[in-house]
Amino acid sequence: MKKLLTVLLMVALTAGVVFAEGQQEAEGPWSPTKGVEWVVTSSAGGGSSIFTQNIVEIMKNEGIVEKNIIINYKTDGGGAVGRRAVSMMKNEAHTLLTFNSGDLQPLVTREGGDLDGLTPLAVMALDGQIILANYDSPYADMEALIAGLKGGDRIIVGGSKSDDEAIYNAMKSEIGGNMEYLRSDSTGEALTQLLGGHVDIAIAKPAASFDLVSSGELRPMVSAGATRFADPFDAPTFGELGYDIEFQIYRGVVGPADMPEEAVAYWSDALAKVAATSAWKENYINKFLLVDHHLGAEDAKAYMQKFEDMYTK
């Protein structure tokens, strides 16, 4: 019985290889030959899911990709299992993975993986972070807070478990003082802590805190990016305050390491087309207050590599 199964399997596999090769030789530039699976390693409804859904919708509506794309939420092991599964795929052209800086960090720090296991296809957008305080905070601005820290005040910093922690670490080493980090599952949870006065300041993304800041519930203290945000998030950058802290997080797309070259070119091109549409700029970038910043496969690789170096050092 076992032998029979093995034989059957071998036949099927050989047949598959022959078929696959036959198809590739027949055409000029590569395009998907079957349905595409797009893996998202966080749950439906979150930031990555909105990002992916927007791209898929535009690909479909604008006729950029003809074949059907199915979004597959693989959340086991905090996303580790999905990332590992994609990176192990051999000669796979029909699998994509949403891959943000928040995914890269656990990949290199906890899961023993690195970018060599993946093929970056694009960076689609950048997201900034802002540090907020409650409206009734005793610290009028960041300078007052830093003065407080130097004077021995204890400051509890709230933020999410992924990207935000890097900023806290930088603050701790650059500014120093009696600071402690209260890690939350999500930015929403961190903002709840801040609104309730259980933390002194919180690190957040503008999109998640837009209404709270524009209504005056929360105050922007300092921007973690290279430049100031527009109103209502207008606050000095760390650079202006004289500290060498500058962070930006990216939202990107990757494929398995062993993705055929033609497919890499195809996807890089398709994602570039998406980034150029007005639907992308209006319904995604502007709506969620992101920074429009598209990079093709080659540049994305170099860009993500910089992040990997930062996380591993």
Q: Which of 7, 116, 176, 197 binds other proteins (CB under 8 A)?
A: 197
Return all residues near 28 (Cβ < 8 A) that are at least 6 apart.
none
Minimum separation from the CB atom of position 71 to other proteins (A): 8
- Nearer to other proteins by Cβ, of 185 and 231: the residue is 185
- Nearer to other proteins by Cβ, of 123 and 285: the residue is 285
196 near other proteins (CB under 8 A): yes
72 near other proteins (CB under 8 A): yes
Q: Which of 188, 226, 276, 292 binds other proteins (CB under 8 A)?
A: 188
Query: Which of 147, 119, 148, 143 has its CA nearest to residue 131?
Result: 143
Q: Which ranges of 196-295 would DSSP assign to H, the alpha helix? A: 206-214, 238-241, 261-276, 278-280
Q: Which of 210, 243, 303, 311 binds other proteins (CB under 8 A)?
A: 210
Exposure letters 25-52 (e unless 16+ CB within 10 A, then b): eeeeebebeeebbbbbbbeeeebbbebb
Minimum separation from the CB atom of position 92 to other proteins (A): 10
Minimum separation from the CB atom of position 296 to other proteins (A): 26
Q: Which of 64, 108, 182, 291 binds other proteins (CB under 8 A)?
A: 182
Contacts of other proteins in 36-55 (CB under 8 A): 37, 43-46, 49-50
- Nearer to other proteins by Cβ, of 180 and 240: the residue is 180
Q: Which of 27, 88, 110, 147 binds other proteins (CB under 8 A)?
A: 110
How far is C-alpha 218 from the chain's CA centre?
25
Q: Can you say whether the dihedral through the CA atoms of 42, 46, 51, 55 is positive or negative?
A: positive
Q: Exposed, middle or buried: residue 309 (CB in 10 Å: 0-12, 13-18, 19+)?
A: exposed
Residue 253 to residue 17: CA distance in whole angstroms: 27
Residue 150 to residue 234: CA distance in whole angstroms: 25
Q: Is 201 helix (H, G, I), strand (E, B) or coil?
A: strand
Q: What size, in residues, is the chain?
A: 313
Site string for other proteins, 225-264 (x = CB under 8 A): ----------------------------------------
Query: Which of 160, 248, 142 has its CA nearest to residue 204?
Result: 160
Interface contacts to other proteins, rule CB under 8 A: 5, 8-9, 12-13, 15-17, 19-20, 23, 33-34, 37, 43-46, 49-50, 70, 72-81, 84, 110-111, 154, 156, 161, 165, 180, 182-186, 188-189, 191-193, 195-199, 210-212, 214-215, 217, 287
